[in-house]
Amino acid sequence: MKFRIVFLGFGTVAQGLARILVRKAGVLRKTYGFEFEAVAVSDTVKGSVLNNRGLDLGKILGTVEQGGTLNDYPGGVKGLSSLDTLERADATTLVEATWTNLKDGEPGLTHVKTALKLGLHVVTTNKGPIALAYHELAALAQRKRRHLRFEGTVMSGTPAISLVKEALIGSTVKSIRGILNGTTNHILTEMESGKSYADTLRTAQELGYAEADPTGDVEAWDPTAKIVILANVLMAGRIKLSEVPREGITKITQADVDAARRDGKRIKLVAKAFRENDEVKAEVVPERLPMTDILAHVSGVLNAITVSTDVQPDVTVVGPGAGGDSAGYALLSDMLAINRALGTR
């Protein structure tokens, strides 16, 4: 199958994917038999363009990277809404990379549902639809015999979901513990070296690590969404985001950090999924980790998960949870996994 791609959302993440696709088209064809063509791109800020005879992805990237909009791209149908784009595109695959909304998942949720109903495979980095409606979407995908993959929703291009589903195939997950938010981990790491919470947050905002409204990070909505995804996808949990015990780092003081250090420990915001009385549960709370815990040494904007299974003791994976083209790469890894499942090669 040739992947005929609709991009909904064309910000940093989707552009990262586009850059990788353009650069690696030859090797992807040769190594994996993976072939693709972009047929539509739609973005609330940059406009939209559709051409079922194919778009020049390199040219689109160039236009956008130079500050232009999709209206500047020669030819094609302009100005369609995201849903009209989906309806009119002769596509096999949706790349959904609009912003995460943890309240109702929109507009991503409708994008994903519509695409699956239309018979498209979906790859997404959007945490909203997956954290809020995974089981519904997975059932829809199965009914339509289409693939829904979302490696980049947790730890970006660092493998978390595929680590368990593919590399740890056949194992049953007993628990997962992780550091799943780079902003809060960066703040805690800086506080270790004596910098204040407020200063560090401000610097992180200036550097673009942290949002202008940091609530999603410091009150732990972001890592909570991620542990819900891991629990529901990898442990067959039925957890609702709103019901997860959740405590951020806003109450952590310099005195707390110093006291932990004096005890030979480090405070980390730990997201956990575990089984209790045959039920899968999750929580996100700051913990004092001993230095013998590898998670205590996951510093700065790195993320990590430790997975415990029935057949293999703790396996930990550590890597960047954001930045560069990492999330774009996650989308590529999802498409290559679909390609492999379809038996193209």
Catalytic residues: 226
Task: Say which amino acid occupies 328.
Answer: G
Identify the helix (H) or strand (E) that includes residue 149: strand 148-149
Q: In the range 32-71, which residues lie near a copy of itself by CB under 8 A?
A: 32, 34
For a copy of itself, the closer CB: 39 or 318: 318
Identify the residue among 118, 192, 315, 344 touching a copy of itself (CB under 8 A): 315
With a CB cutoff of 8 Å and minimum separation 6, the contacts of 126 are 9, 96, 97, 98, 99, 100, 108, 112, 150, 153
Identify the residue among 92, 100, 181, 326 touching a copy of itself (CB under 8 A): 326
Identify the residue among 158, 183, 185, 224 touching a copy of itself (CB under 8 A): 158
> Does 337 contact a copy of itself by CB under 8 A?
yes
Helix axes 326-341, 12-32, angle to 10 degrees: 40
> Does 180 contact a copy of itself by CB under 8 A?
no
For a copy of itself, the closer CB: 48 or 158: 158
Measured CA to CA, the distance from residue 129 to residue 112 in angstroms comes to 8
Nearest approach, Cβ of residue 45 and a copy of itself (Å)? 26
334: nearest Cα among 100, 86, 166, 82: 166
Q: Do 10 and 96 meet the contact criterion of CB atoms below 8 Å apart?
A: no
The two structure tokens encoding residue 285: 């709370």
> Does 20 contact a copy of itself by CB under 8 A?
yes
- Which residues are at the interface with a copy of itself (CB under 8 A)? 20, 24, 27-28, 31-32, 34, 157-159, 162-163, 166-172, 291-292, 294, 296-299, 311-320, 323-326, 329, 332-333, 336-337, 340, 343
